Structure 1
Amino acid sequence: MIERQHLRIVAMIAKKGTLTDAAAALHLTQSALSHGMKKLELEFGVALWHKDGRRLRLSNAGESLLNLAERILPQFENTEEHLAQIAAGKKGVLRIGMECHPCYQWLLKVVKPFLTQFPTVDVDVRQAFKFGGLQALHGYEIDLLLTPDPLFIPTITYVPVFQYEQVLVVANDHPLATKPWVRPQDLANDTLITYPVEPSRLDIFAQFMTPAGGSVKRHKTIETTEILLQMVSAGRGISALPRWLVEEHSQSLPITPVRLGEDGLSKALHIGYRSKDASADYFTAFLEMAKEIGASTQSA
C-alpha cells in the first residue's frame, strides 16, 4: 500500500538526489528510509530508483510516484494548515497566487480592508509556482489566482475584476511620447524592459510585436515595478504596463503612456478559484471587495 511517507521520500529523493541528504531532510536514518521503500518495491515488484554514482535517479515507477506526490502532498499540507488555523482560533488562510506582476500594488488595496473585516483570516500572496498558476490551484498550493490570461476549464471558475488597457510607457522626453499610438516597427531601436516572464506570455510580444514580425534592439528584465519605472523615466528603455498603473506613477515620475496600435490593447483581470470551494463567507467577501475596487480602478 502506498503511504504518505513513501510520497515524501520519493519527493525528497528527487529534490536532494542522494539517500544521505534525503534522509537528513526527513529526519530519518538511511536504513529506515531504505527499508521502508524496499518494502514498497517488493510489494509492487518494481524498482523506484537507480544509482548513478553517488546520486539516485528515479525509475519510471519512481517518476509515477513522484507525480502522485506532487499532486497529493500539497493537499495534505493545505488541510493540515487549515486545521492548525482552526485550532488557533482562526477561520483559515487565504492563499493568493499572482500571474500579474504589476497588480501587486492593486492587490494591496483589496487585502487591507479584507484583513480589517476578517481578523481571524490570514492572507498569503505567492508569485512563484512550480507548475504555473492553474496547476497551483489544482494542487492546492493556492486558493485564488489573479491572472489576465484565464484558461477556462470546468473545474475552475473565473470572476472578471476589471478591464484595463495595456500601454507602452516611455519617458516624457522620448520621441514616442508625443505619438497618439505606436506601431510595432516604431520600437525597433529601443530597449524593452519587462518582468522576468517567458516572452511568449508577455502581451507586448504575443499580441503586438510577434504577429507583426516586429522586434526590439534589446530585451532586458527587471523584477520590481518601481525599479522598472525608474529605468524608463531615466531614458534607459521602454516598457508595457497597464494604463492605470502608469497614470498612478506619472504623478511622481516623468513617464507617459502611449497606445499600442491604433485600436489599443485591451485586457481584463480575472480571479480564478476551484469551483467547489466558494462557500466560506470570507472567500466570497474577498471576491466582492476585489470587484468593487476593480470597478473604481477601471473608472479612474
Structure 2
Amino acid sequence: MFMESAMLERSHLMVVREVEKQGSLTAAADVLNLTQSALSHAVRKLEQQLGTPVWTREGRSMRLTQAGQYLLGLANRMLPQFEQAEARMKQYAQGERGTLRIGMECHPCYQWLMKVVSPYLASWPDVDVDVKQRFQFGGVGALFGYDIDVLVTPDPLKKAGLRFEPVFDYEQVLVVAEEHALASVAYVVPEQLASEVLITYPVETDRLDIYTQFLTPANVVPRRQKVIETSDIMMQMVASGRGVAALPRWLAEEYAERMPLTPLKLGKKGIAKKICLGVREADRSIDYLAAFVALARDADWTRAKIRTKR
C-alpha cells in the first residue's frame, strides 16, 4: 500500500502568500478570484496533502505555523521568478526583446554604468534596462538563478556555465583631501593608514581591495572604519578632512576636478584591477545582451577612462 505523496504546486504558494498578505480568507479569495468556500477547500486540501497544519485560526484571522512560515519564504522566493518568466515569455511571444537586468557588485561603478546605459538605450529602443544595485544575494547565484542577466564585478569567479568578459583595466587608489598630510607623497604604504579613518562602502572587508591587497597582508588596520553608501557623500567627507577612501582612479579623478581631493597610488606598484561583465554561457548569443557587452568594452569613453593622469 502506497501513501499519496504531497506535491506542492504554484497555486499552493499563491494561496499562502495572499492569505498572509491579506490577513483573511475572504480578502485573499477576492484577490485570487475565488469564492471563499473554494479557497477554504483549497486550504484544507493543502494541509491534508502535507500532513501538517499550515495555519492556526484565531477568529477570522489566520496565523502561519512554522511549516506555513517555511512555505511563505518559499513563495516569496519562487513566485517572483515565475512571474518574471511569464513576463519574459509574453515579451517573446509579442516580438519584444525584453529587459536587460544588470546586477552591481561594484559600488563605485554606478557612474560608469550610466555612461554605458545611455547610448545603449538609444541603440536598442525595444529593450528596457533594470539595474539592481543592492540585491541581497551573491552575484554568481543571481546569474544562475536568472535574477539578473549581467553581473558587473571587479572580482569574477570561474564557474561552469558562466562567462566573464573583461571590460577595462583600472587602478585602485587612495583619495585624501588636498590639505591632508599624505597629499604630497608619491605613494602610500600600509603603515601610514594605521592612524586614519578609512571610509568604505557597506561591503565585507574581505571583498574590499584596500584590505585584501593592501592593509591585511601588512597586518595593518586603520584607526577606525566608517561606512558610507554613496560615492558623493563619501567624497564630501574626504574633502572635509573626515577620513580617507579607496576608489578607482578614473572616478577619483572625476571628483578631483570639482572637489579639493588628491588620488594617491597604493604602494609603490599600485593595485591593478579589472571591471568584468558576467553572463550565462547559454545567453551569450542573445543579440541585445551581446551588444551591451560589446558597447561597454569598446566605447571610446571607456578607452579614455583607462588613460590615467600622471
In terms of mean alpha carbon deviation, does 271-280 or 98-107 score higher? 271-280
Which protein has the larger Cα radius of gyration, Structure 1 or Structure 2? 2
* CA–CA separation in structure 2 for the residues paired with 1:257 and 1:51: 63
Matched, 1:58 2:62: no
Query: Which residue in 2 is equivalent to 1:231?
Result: 237
Work out the CA distance in 2 between the residues paired with 1:34 and 1:198: 47
Q: Is the contact made by 1:72 and 1:139 (CA closer than 8 Å) also made in structure 2?
A: no
Query: 5+ residue gaps in structure 2?
Result: 1-6
- 1:257 paired to 2:256: no
Q: Does 1:90 align with 2:90?
A: no
Distance 1:67 1:24, change over 3 A: closer
Are residues 1:196 and 2:207 paired? no
In the TM superposition, what whole-angstrom CA distance separates every residue of 1:226-281 from its partner, at most 9, and x where no partner exists?
Answer: 12111111111110000111112211111111111222112111111122112221
Q: Are the aligned partners of 2:29 and 2:39 in contact in 1 as well (CA < 8 Å)?
A: no
Distance 1:130 1:211 in 2: 29
Return closer, same or farther for 1:290/1:12 CA change in 2, 3 Å cut-off. farther
SS at match of 2:31: coil
CA-CA distance at 1:72 after TM superposition:
4.0
Distance change in 2, residues 1:70/1:158 (3 Å) = farther
1:173 to 172, 179, 186: 179
Identity value in percent: 52
Structure 2 counterpart of 1:40, from 26, 39, 46: 46
TM-score using structure 2 length? 0.82
Mapped pair 1:272 → 2:278: yes
Question: How far apart, CA to CA, are the structure 1 residues paired with 2:85 and 2:170?
Answer: 36
Q: Give the partner amino acid of 2:306.
A: Q
Matched residue of 2:192: which SS?
helix
> 3-state SS of the aligned residue for 1:167?
strand
Cα distance change, pair 288–24 in 1 and its aligned pair in 2 (3 A): same
What amino acid does structure 2 have at the position aligned with 1:214? V
- Runs of at least 5 residues in structure 1 that lack an aligned partner in the other structure: none
Asked if structure 2 preserves the Cα contact closer than 8 Å seen for 1:51 and 1:57, the reply is no
Q: Which moved more, 1:122-131 or 1:288-297?
A: 288-297
Partner SS, residue 208 of structure 1: helix
Partner of 2:13: 7
Partner of 1:291: 297
Measure, in 2, the Cα distance between the counterparts of 1:197 and 1:106.
Answer: 19
What is aligned with 1:159? 165
Q: How many residues were matched structurally?
A: 296
Q: In the alignment, which residue of structure 1 is the partner of 2:4? A: none
Asked if residue 128 in structure 1 is aligned to residue 126 in structure 2, the reply is no
The 1:84–1:180 alpha-carbon spacing in structure 2 relative to 1, beyond 3 Å, is: same
Q: Secondary structure at the match of 1:299?
A: coil
The answer on whether the counterparts of 2:29 and 2:36 sit within 8 Å (CA) in structure 1 is no
Distance 1:10 1:208, change over 3 A: farther
Structure 2 CA distance for aligned equivalents of residues 62 and 299 of structure 1: 54
Contact in 1 for aligned 2:18/2:31 (Cα 8 Å): no
